[in-house]
A and B are shown apart, each in its own frame.
Chain A
Amino acid sequence: MLERLTATASPATTTATAIAAAASGGSRWFGALLLFAAMLLTGLPAAAEPMLLIRGALATNATSERFVPGTAVVPVQLPDDWAVTRPGYEGSVWYRTGFDRPPGTDPHELLALYIERACSNVEVYLNGHRIFSGGRMSEPVTRNCHYPQLVTLPAALLQERGNLLDLQVQGHALARVASRQRAGGLSALEIGPQAVLAAAYEQRLFWNVTSVQVVGVVLAVLGLVTLALGWANRGESYLMHFGWLALGWALMSARLWWRDLPWDTGVMESLFCVGFAPVAGLAVQFLLSYAGLRMRRIEIALAVQWVLVPATLLLAGPNHLFLMASGWYVLLMAEFFAAVGLYLRETWHSRRDDFWPMLMLLIALAFAALVELGVQHGVLGLPHIQMLQFAAPLIFIGVAVRLLQMFAHALHAAEAGRTTLEVRVREAAAEIERNFTLLAELRVEQVTEKERKRIAGDLHDDLGAKLLTIVHTSESERISTLAREALEEMRLSVRGLTGRPMRLADALADWRAETVLRLGQANIEADWRGPVEETEQLLPARGFVQTTRILREAVSNIIKHSGASHCKVRCAISDRQFGLTIQDNGKGIPMELDGKLDRGHGMSSMKHRAKQMQGQCLVESGPGYGTVIRLTLPL
């Protein structure tokens, strides 16, 4: 009935290599996560200490307070899986086994009992003394299924030989729980030095509980971050889906470590089972929206499923919970993998970059899911590591990191876009400002031009008409000449007001035509020579008007006073200035008494006009020598 064995092998290492192999070739970020997991796995127990492995016991289904020896007692092998040995049984089972102090252990060494799995809860009695309780033994029973137990064996109660070890296990029938991991049962027992077993216990606790809790917290935080991102970017609905998915999964993983729940096991198991429908739905939604394939019908079907799951569980009753849960698990997984297929197909066409990493991740997930399915249907034994519980959140974290990476990329791109946009806006603003300034200048020019024209019109209509009347009605020739001159002056002034700059070549043409015509009418031979080549230089309107006056005055003088028969005009244009020389062969300008030239010939007004234009007008004359007028103007 009692066997002495030494545990030697560590079965977990093979699983670890399997995971690593499944993921090899995946993307870098997922690879890094796996490397981390592999590092954690390398320290699993490989004990060489002398130890007792107890693989058999006497068992009886009884709710009594003590192990009662009697007819109902049967020998059982450990581990004892209730689903096999006592199907449908629900309640308390007493186990009795005996042991001697393991040989080779120091008499002072503290010994302990290590129970890898006792589901749902266990109390331990040594030689009739209760030495350990895992929690509540009546409903709601403390859920210790995923917790290993380490019971220190008090030295005072321990005998060298023939120690009696009684264990009361409170458990549930497989049919009434949602997962095989939480069906009643007791693993093999190990007795050995407390220090050695504590290490094994802690490793087991870490993998079964702590890792799930840590990953759950990380997942919850990632979920919240993604939710916040999704909230800020409503257009990216997959962010919201993923956030809720991560949060949902984190919440659901509580079933593995949350021991004391307020309701009895049947209710809690049903609730957890119900919770899988939305989680799976969110996973499907996430994949579809991430691939840009949101379909109204699928959304409605998923929502209906939320309602359908609890309804079927209720209808089936608590005694068929495992059956219903298993059925739903298969269905939900099928849905999920269908979504995966759609997603991968879409990604293959539109986002090839994402395809391979996502394919690797999803293959790993599919592998974990298949293992879990095998476990639930009893094809595979209860695993040492909760594959799905461990792999799925890691994969979620991988996906979340990918999402955040994409978001960061998008943010970066948006930032770059914003900077470009800012530069463009600045350029556009500068352009607008420039145009506005131009437009304002143009407007000012237009308004000024319009005003000039108005003034010119008024002057012609009013002053012009009056002067004209004087010209043609005055009896005195002197007055009509004065009025005519005044009119001409007015006209030139107005042209100075209204005129635009003029091409110098055009101005020369105008002056030539007028001068030659006037001299010709006075029977004076005109000899005008200007520059041969055309120039594009411009002359301001005022310069044109003033020069016209000077030239007109000079020609008038020649016609009226000089008595010349010949007049020579020469024009010279350089880059900076132009010069006009008017020479006649007349009698010259008579000198006044003070040696100055005759004022009556208008010489001073010609000089004055030239000075106004920053130019100069030189007059050379002597009796009998004719007159030379040299006009020089800057351009």
Chain B
Amino acid sequence: MNSILLLEDLPEIRAWLKVMVKQVFPNAQVHEAARVHDALELVSAVKFNLALVDLGLPDGSGVDVVAALRESQPEAQSVVVTIHDDDDHLFPALQAGAFGYLLKEQARDLIAEQLKRMAQGEPPLSPSIARRVISHFASQTRPQERPQNMPHVALTDRENEVLLRVAKGFTLPEIGVQLSLSRHTIADYVKQIYRKLNVSSRAEAALEAQRLGLFRR
């Protein structure tokens, strides 16, 4: 981790986060931004490995930055850092390509631990997020309505199995035990689920845009 984007409008919190990030990744260079506009400029200029993005910002939503980063730098990992813990805020960010989220009020050690895990490819997945992912894939547009250039994104049986168990309230280590899978394999499944969520969400968004275009014509 040598280049990290830190988008946060509150100066105290930004400073606090920076300390925390430096603690986890001592060698990283941290680029700070307080507004969506500034962050987007940085994204187009600098190559990042990791981005910590606040959602509610004075000039817009951090989701746009997550999406821009996903578009131009697919290798970069976005993590949402927010005060909102509800799905209405988190799910769009995950759809846009975020690989996890941190709640701002958590203690520094705890948050650092979570960040480290995420950076190692173990994104968190709560039951409510899992339920939303399930219903997202269930309600996905039927194949005949999908534009030809759009890839069909479907979850594998194993991924579905993991999602269903998370939705029932089992933790990822528990599921690993139940399915006789290693911690890493489970983490890979979850990462894959996040990726597919992002891809299918973008396909859906494109289709939606096309549909609106059709209506407008």
Binding site for B on A (CB under 8 A): 457, 460-461, 464-465, 467-469, 471-473, 483-484, 487-488, 491, 495, 498, 506, 508-513, 516-517, 520, 528, 530
Taking a contact as CB atoms under 8 Å apart, the answer to whether B12 and A509 are in contact is: no
User: With contacts A468-B10, A512-B170 known, what are 15 further pairs, Cβ within 8 A?
Assistant: A457-B56, A460-B56, A461-B56, A464-B83, A467-B105, A468-B105, A473-B16, A484-B107, A488-B105, A498-B86, A506-B167, A508-B169, A513-B170, A517-B171, A520-B173
Binding site for A on B (CB under 8 A): 10, 12-13, 16, 56, 83-86, 104-108, 126-128, 131, 166-171, 173-174
Nearest residue, chain B, Cβ from A487: B105
| Cβ–Cβ < 8 Å partners of A491 in chain B | 85
Given contacts A460-B83, A508-B169, A517-B171, contact A465 B10 (CB under 8 A): yes
A360-B87 Cα distance, complex, nearest whole Å: 87
What is the distance, in angstroms, from A209's C-beta to the closest C-beta of chain B?
A: 84
Given contacts A460-B84, A461-B56, contact A509 B169 (CB under 8 A): yes
| Cβ–Cβ < 8 Å partners of B169 in chain A | 508-513, 516, 528, 530
| Pick from B13, B107, B174: contact of A468, CB under 8 Å | B13
Taking a contact as CB atoms under 8 Å apart, the answer to whether A473 and B83 are in contact is: no
Taking a contact as CB atoms under 8 Å apart, the answer to whether B83 and A513 are in contact is: no
A517-B113 Cα distance, complex, nearest whole Å: 14
A511-B128 Cα distance, complex, nearest whole Å: 11
| Pick from A467, A498, A509: contact of B168, CB under 8 Å | A509
Taking a contact as CB atoms under 8 Å apart, the answer to whether B126 and A513 are in contact is: yes
Given contacts A468-B105, A508-B169, A513-B170, contact A495 B86 (CB under 8 A): yes
| Cβ–Cβ < 8 Å partners of A461 in chain B | 56
| Cβ–Cβ < 8 Å partners of A528 in chain B | 169
Given contacts A465-B10, A468-B13, contact A513 B84 (CB under 8 A): no
A419-B131 Cα distance, complex, nearest whole Å: 54
A486-B133 Cα distance, complex, nearest whole Å: 30
Nearest residue, chain B, Cβ from A460: B83
Nearest residue, chain A, Cβ from B106: A484
| Pick from B10, B83, B106, B127: contact of A509, CB under 8 Å | B127
Given contacts A460-B56, A491-B85, A509-B127, contact A469 B12 (CB under 8 A): yes
Taking a contact as CB atoms under 8 Å apart, the answer to whether B128 and A506 are in contact is: yes
| Cβ–Cβ < 8 Å partners of A530 in chain B | 169
Taking a contact as CB atoms under 8 Å apart, the answer to whether A520 and B127 are in contact is: no
Nearest residue, chain A, Cβ from B125: A513
Nearest residue, chain B, Cβ from A459: B83
**11 A-B pairs whose Cβ atoms sit less than 8 Å apart in the complex:** A457-B56, A471-B105, A484-B106, A484-B107, A488-B105, A506-B131, A509-B167, A510-B127, A510-B128, A511-B169, A512-B168
| Cβ–Cβ < 8 Å partners of A465 in chain B | 10, 13, 83
Taking a contact as CB atoms under 8 Å apart, the answer to whether A472 and B56 are in contact is: no
What is the distance, in angstroms, from B18's C-beta to the closest C-beta of chain A?
A: 11
Nearest residue, chain A, Cβ from B11: A469
Taking a contact as CB atoms under 8 Å apart, the answer to whether A513 and B127 are in contact is: yes
| Cβ–Cβ < 8 Å partners of A487 in chain B | 83, 105
Nearest residue, chain A, Cβ from B104: A468
Nearest residue, chain B, Cβ from A520: B171
Given contacts A506-B131, A520-B173, contact A484 B105 (CB under 8 A): yes
| Cβ–Cβ < 8 Å partners of A483 in chain B | 105
Which 9 A-B pairs give the minimum distances between C-beta atoms? A512-B169, A509-B169, A509-B127, A472-B16, A513-B169, A464-B83, A487-B105, A469-B12, A513-B127
Question: What is the predominant secondary structure among interface residues of chain A facing chain B?
Answer: helix
A508-B173 Cα distance, complex, nearest whole Å: 19
| Pick from B12, B126, B127, B167: contact of A472, CB under 8 Å | B12
A530-B174 Cα distance, complex, nearest whole Å: 16
A606-B106 Cα distance, complex, nearest whole Å: 23
| Cβ–Cβ < 8 Å partners of B166 in chain A | 513
A491-B12 Cα distance, complex, nearest whole Å: 21
Taking a contact as CB atoms under 8 Å apart, the answer to whether B170 and A468 are in contact is: no
What is the distance, in angstroms, from A487's C-beta to the closest C-beta of chain B?
A: 5
- The residue among B170, B171, B173 with the most chain A CB atoms within 10 A of its own CB is B171
| Cβ–Cβ < 8 Å partners of B131 in chain A | 506, 509
| Cβ–Cβ < 8 Å partners of B127 in chain A | 506, 509-510, 512-513
What is the distance, in angstroms, from A567's C-beta to the closest C-beta of chain B?
A: 14
Nearest residue, chain B, Cβ from A480: B107
| Pick from B107, B126, B171: contact of A510, CB under 8 Å | B126
| Cβ–Cβ < 8 Å partners of A464 in chain B | 83
A250-B157 Cα distance, complex, nearest whole Å: 97
What is the distance, in angstroms, from A406's C-beta to the closest C-beta of chain B?
A: 54
| Cβ–Cβ < 8 Å partners of A495 in chain B | 86
A477-B10 Cα distance, complex, nearest whole Å: 21
| Cβ–Cβ < 8 Å partners of A467 in chain B | 105
A484-B84 Cα distance, complex, nearest whole Å: 14
A75-B106 Cα distance, complex, nearest whole Å: 148
Taking a contact as CB atoms under 8 Å apart, the answer to whether A473 and B12 are in contact is: yes
| Cβ–Cβ < 8 Å partners of B174 in chain A | 516
What is the distance, in angstroms, from A524's C-beta to the closest C-beta of chain B?
A: 14
| Cβ–Cβ < 8 Å partners of A488 in chain B | 105
What is the distance, in angstroms, from B124's C-beta to the closest C-beta of chain A?
A: 9
| Pick from A460, A469, A484, A512: contact of B13, CB under 8 Å | A469
| Cβ–Cβ < 8 Å partners of B106 in chain A | 484
Nearest residue, chain B, Cβ from A483: B105
A495-B84 Cα distance, complex, nearest whole Å: 10
A473-B56 Cα distance, complex, nearest whole Å: 20
| Cβ–Cβ < 8 Å partners of A513 in chain B | 126-127, 166, 169-171
| Cβ–Cβ < 8 Å partners of B167 in chain A | 506, 509
Taking a contact as CB atoms under 8 Å apart, the answer to whether B13 and A472 are in contact is: yes
What is the distance, in angstroms, from A231's C-beta to the closest C-beta of chain B?
A: 54
A161-B167 Cα distance, complex, nearest whole Å: 140
A472-B86 Cα distance, complex, nearest whole Å: 21
A91-B86 Cα distance, complex, nearest whole Å: 122
A473-B174 Cα distance, complex, nearest whole Å: 36
A473-B42 Cα distance, complex, nearest whole Å: 28
A467-B10 Cα distance, complex, nearest whole Å: 12
What is the distance, in angstroms, from B203's C-beta to the closest C-beta of chain A?
A: 27
What is the distance, in angstroms, from B210's C-beta to the closest C-beta of chain A?
A: 28
What is the distance, in angstroms, from A526's C-beta to the closest C-beta of chain B?
A: 9
Nearest residue, chain A, Cβ from B126: A513
A467-B12 Cα distance, complex, nearest whole Å: 12
What is the distance, in angstroms, from B186's C-beta to the closest C-beta of chain A?
A: 14
| Cβ–Cβ < 8 Å partners of B13 in chain A | 465, 468-469, 472
What is the distance, in angstroms, from B178's C-beta to the closest C-beta of chain A?
A: 13
Nearest residue, chain B, Cβ from A461: B56
Taking a contact as CB atoms under 8 Å apart, the answer to whether B85 and A516 are in contact is: no
Given contacts A461-B56, A510-B127, A513-B126, contact A469 B86 (CB under 8 A): no
- The residue among B105, B173, B174 with the most chain A CB atoms within 10 A of its own CB is B105
